[in-house]
Structure 1
Amino acid sequence: MKIATYNVNGINARLPVLLQWLKEASPDIVCLQELKAPQERFPLQEINAAGYQALWKGQKSWNGVAILTKDLEMTEVQDTLPGDPEDLQSRYIEAIIDQIVICCMYLPNGNPYPGPKFDYKLDWLKRLKKRTNELIKMKLPAILIGDFNIIPEPIDVHKPEHWENDALYRTEVRKAFRELKNKGWLDSIRTLYPDEMIYTFWDYLYKAYDRNAGIRLDHILLSPYLRSSLKSGGVDRHVRGWTKSSDHAPVWIQLEK
């Protein structure tokens, strides 16, 4: 089973790129972030024509998450991260597919640091920790997947010294990521490539992609009950170089079931 995540940075504006990648990569499950489209403007007809069914929660202008699947039954669990009924940002959707809990996430950026946006990010991470602990206690095969807006380690960023006071790299958020791993969640890409500099995002400015001046923000974490199923994975880096592509590249893993 091939499972992927892709921050599309505007699903309608970049729909040709998404459809081209779906045809080329043919993942079984895809989690999308940053749809930048209200609920009614999700391109369901085109997604269906590409062979996928979808669950999504849109939002005007920003945010928005979706889960696509090709031939597998999908049941929605919830479309908000529990813990704050006043949080209306579309950043989380959870579904059960082939007996696996898929948690598609678009974590807050948190910048500028310090400030209320960073405080919101820390609160979001606390709520995520609570939900992930529940999944561990229930002994469910589960996947945390999406754009975490967290750079976990110095190896995951070009020139880490430039990022010390950025909300993506602050000690507090990196600690939260480590705590997830300490609870048993497996960082699949880093496990497969323990010593390689692997990036998933390259800014549009300063020819960052051409210089490979990137960061690793997009992650696929596996619960303890899926660790032994991890077979392979990678980043479809070349997609970032396509015309009118997102500033993120798709990330994928293959599970052996």
Structure 2
Amino acid sequence: MKFATWNVNSIRQRQDLVLQWLEREQPDLLGLQEIKCTEDQFPADVFRKAGYESVVVGQKSYNGVAILSRVPFTLTHRTLPGWECDPPQARYVEVRTGALTFGNLYLPNGNSGGDAGYANKLAFMAALAQHARALLRAGTDFVLAGDYNVCPTDEDLAPGALPPDDALVRPASRAAFRTLLWLGLTDALRALHPVGRFYTFWDYQAGAWQRDSGLRIDHALLSPRLAERLVSAVPDREERNMKQPSDHVPLIVTLRDGAA
């Protein structure tokens, strides 16, 4: 099984890039974040013609998540259990395919909205940990993949890319990410590449891509049995070099065949 997560920064602007990528990579599942459109605006028919059904949790102009799948699935959640935000924000969608549960998330950045904005980020992470606990107790094989807006360690960002008080690197953000790992989840990329700089995001400003001043903020966390099937996990850096790219690239994960 192959799945991927990709913050596309507007699906209507990147539709052709996503179609080309799907044709080339042929993932079973693709989680999209920051689609920036409502459900009726999402190009579901276009992806259906390419062999992918979709489930969309949209929002006008901001946020928004979707899952594209070429395998049968059942929708399990359109919001993250235990997390509420006023006004509502479209940041989580989850499906089940076979024995696999696939959660796609777009975690709040935390740098806007002052203390309340950062508290919202931590509240989302706390709810995510609680949901992971519930899935683990139920013996579910699952993936929690998406744009986490957290650089877990200093090695996950280029030197000088962010100030130390940025919400993506603040101690509480990193502690919340570690909580997910301490529950027993596996960071797919770091399980195979424990050291080294692997980025999934490069800002549009200040020549960040040209200078390779990037961040690793897109992650795939695997439940224990899925981690045993892990074959590969790699960011598709070439997508950042495309014409009018997203500022994120896909993170592609491959698992050995199993019950899922």
Measured against the shorter chain, the TM-score band is over 0.9
Query: Within 1, Cα distance between the matches of 2:213 and 2:149?
Result: 16
Contact 1:113 1:167 in 2 (8 A): no
How far apart, CA to CA, are the structure 2 residues paired with 1:89 and 1:178? Answer: 24
Alignment size in residue pairs: 256
Q: How does 1:1-257 map to 2 (within 5 A)?
A: 1-70=1-70, 72-87=71-86, 88-112=88-112, 114-159=114-159, 162-257=162-257
Cα distance in 1, alignment partners of residues 243 and 66 from structure 2: 23
Superposed CA RMSD in Å reads 1.3
* Aligned equivalents of 1:113, 1:189: Cα separation in 2: 31
Q: Distance in 2 between matches of 1:89 and 1:42?
A: 17
- Give runs of ≥4 in structure 1 deviating > 3 Å: 84-87
Shift of 1:205: 0.6
Q: Distance in 2 between matches of 1:161 and 1:107?
A: 20
State the TM-score, normalized to the length of structure 1.
0.96
Show structure 2 runs of 5+ residues with no match: none
Unaligned ranges ≥5, structure 1: none
**Equivalent pair of 1:101/1:142 in contact (CA under 8 Å):** yes
Cα distance, 1:185–1:215 mapped onto 2, change above 3 Å: same
**Structure-1 separation of matches of 2:112 and 2:77:** 30
Maintained 8 Å contact 1:235/1:252: yes
Contact 1:139 1:225 in 2 (8 A): no
Letter in structure 2 aligned against 1:177: F
The secondary structure found in structure 1 opposite 2:198 is coil
* Change in CA separation of 1:161 and 1:216 when aligned onto 2, cut-off 3 Å: closer
Q: Secondary structure at the match of 2:214?
A: coil
User: Separation in 2 of the partners of 1:241 and 1:211?
Assistant: 13
